[in-house]
Structure 1
Amino acid sequence: MAKQLVLAEGTVKLHLHHIYGKLQVKGRVHAIRKAREMKWIP
């Protein structure tokens, strides 16, 4: 992901950490589940 966005890996990890905090989840799988529950993604 970092390579595609031309960002440092640490920057991507920091952004993901903030996103998980706002969604009140602990990881990628939980974030996807939450997004589906909220109907943000199909």
Structure 2
Amino acid sequence: MDTNNGDKSMSLRVTDFSSLPKRMLAPIEGYEKTPVVSIEDA
């Protein structure tokens, strides 16, 4: 079993977070006051 390939993919996965957005977005407000309905009713 070749573990070198797994180690390489793990290191790539750990370091791929640099492409995430750098700015903070405002939280979504008001959704908690919306009634919960089924998909069919929506």
Q: TM bucket by the smaller chain?
A: 0.3 to 0.5
Higher helix share: 1
Q: TM-score, normalised by structure 2?
A: 0.36
Q: TM-score, normalised by structure 1?
A: 0.36
Larger RCO, structures 1/2 (Cα 8 Å, 6+ apart):
1
Structure ID, larger Rg:
2
